[in-house]
Amino acid sequence: MLDPALLDHPFSGALLLCYENDRPLQGMIADLDWRYNGHFSDLMKRQLLTGAKGEVLYSPLNWNEKPLHFLILGGGYLESDQDRPGLSRTLFETALQKFDELKLPALTLSTKDWNISENHPGIKERGLWLVN
């Protein structure tokens, strides 16, 4: 379920993680997909989003006349539904690099999806906001 704090916070978008074989979607992307009428599922159906390792997709979305910015990274293939991998340093560094390149306003990300804490380098410096 979507963290209620996310809806209370004036967030401008999210840094999301998606895997090739996450069907149905899991984690924060699934919660946001439900909240935003299947937006991310639709991207997958149209194969604009696959979850392939190293994939990076920027998906802007307007909601209630407010622009939202979503940066989705592909995590590759999960060996087991039960085993969500820990943080991939390479994947997270790619995310931060794209965040910087796109000059996006501060985004939120899920500590559970990314297996990360506030103390991780790059979080505070970039104004990323963590939710559970």
Question: Which CATH number goes with the domain that contains 56?
Answer: 3.40.220.10
Domain residues for the domain of 110 are: 4-131
Lookup result for tokens 């939120």: 108
Residue 1 has pLDDT above 70, yes or no: no
pLDDT of residue 52: 92
Query: What's the structural domain count of the chain?
Result: 1
Q: Please give the share of the chain, as a percent, with pLDDT higher than 70.
A: 86
Q: Please give the share of the chain, as a percent, with pLDDT higher than 90.
A: 20
User: Which of 16-20, 74-78, 90-94, 99-103 shows the lowest mean pLDDT across its residues?
Assistant: 90-94
Q: Which residue has the higher pLDDT, 19 or 3?
A: 19
pLDDT of residue 8: 58
pLDDT of residue 95: 82
Residues 43 and 66: their CA atoms lie apart, in Å, by 20
Residues 78 and 99: their CA atoms lie apart, in Å, by 24
pLDDT of residue 4: 55
- DSSP code string of 34-92: HHTTTHHHHHHHTTS----TT-EEEEEEEETTEEEEEEEEE----S-SS------HHHH
Residue 7 has pLDDT above 60, yes or no: no
Mean pLDDT, the chain, rounded, equals 83
